[in-house]
Structure 1
């Protein structure tokens, strides 16, 4: 089963950023609706984002979530690390009997390769901010969505 924490958290943050721009509140319920998920899932994803000051919340009638800092200073790598802190891209089996040079060294080599792949992933995500993501989404949308047209102007 694929891990969707990052993509879900990314959608939450982009939605909060766009909502802020449009003076619209972002609550657990409204964010959950956009993900077709339960508000409890949204709150679970938001907790580590708040710990990293990516999102902040306020209570009360006008409460909700907002960005902890400007969208152009929040990088996708920060979001990824916040919601998948101990997640490896793949696992390495340590229980294989060492019968030859392959089985004797596969675990070490696979762990090294995984570390390199994670570095490349974080490098790509570290080059894009939330603001960059919003701009890319507006470009992909091409003005089809009324909100996208509003953001593009």
Structure 2
């Protein structure tokens, strides 16, 4: 089963940041609606994000969820570490016969590869902030909007050319 904790937590933190920018209150219920999941699942992810100083939560009618620090100081690697803990990208099988070149060494090789892959992921995520992520989302949205306009603009130009 593919682990979705990081991608879900990333969406939570970005949603909180965008809502703050728009002066909108964020609750676990509003996040759950946007994620098409339960508020209890959202709250399970909020706990490590809160404990790691990424988000801050407050109870009550004026409570809600907010960023605990500026979005340009929240690294994606911090979110990843908060919600995945020490869970590896993949598991090494230890239930295989340990005979011959492959059987005796595949566990060590798999562990080595997993550690290198994990470090590469953490290093890459450590170079990207929530601010960077929001900038990229806006660039992607503008690109999609522009591509939706191009066919219509092209047909308008053809229609004008044919009429002229």
The normalised TM-score by structure 1 is 0.91
Show the counterpart of 1:51. Answer: 51
Per-residue deviation, residues 104-147 of structure 1 (Å, max 9, x unmatched): 111011101100000000011001000000000000000768xx
| 1:131 corresponds to 2:131 | yes
After superposition, the Cα gap between the structure-2 partners of 1:106 and 1:16, relative to the gap in structure 1 and judged at 3 Å, is same
Show the counterpart of 1:75. Answer: 75
Aligned length: 145
Q: CA RMSD in A?
A: 1.3
Q: Any unmatched runs of 5+ in structure 2? A: 146-164
Show the counterpart of 1:63. Answer: 63
Q: Any unmatched runs of 5+ in structure 1? A: 146-153
After superposition, the Cα gap between the structure-2 partners of 1:25 and 1:143, relative to the gap in structure 1 and judged at 3 Å, is farther
Q: Whole-Å Cα distance in 1 between the matches of residues 44 and 30 of structure 2? A: 15
Task: From the two aligned structures, give the one with the greater helix fraction.
Answer: 2
SS in 1 for 2:56: strand
Deviation at 1:78, TM superposition (A): 0.5
Show the counterpart of 1:12. Answer: 12
The normalised TM-score by structure 2 is 0.85
Compare CA radii of gyration and give the structure with the larger one: 2
Show the counterpart of 1:101. Answer: 101
Deviation at 1:93, TM superposition (A): 1.0
- After superposing on structure 2, the runs of 4+ consecutive aligned residues of structure 1 that deviate more than 2 Å are none
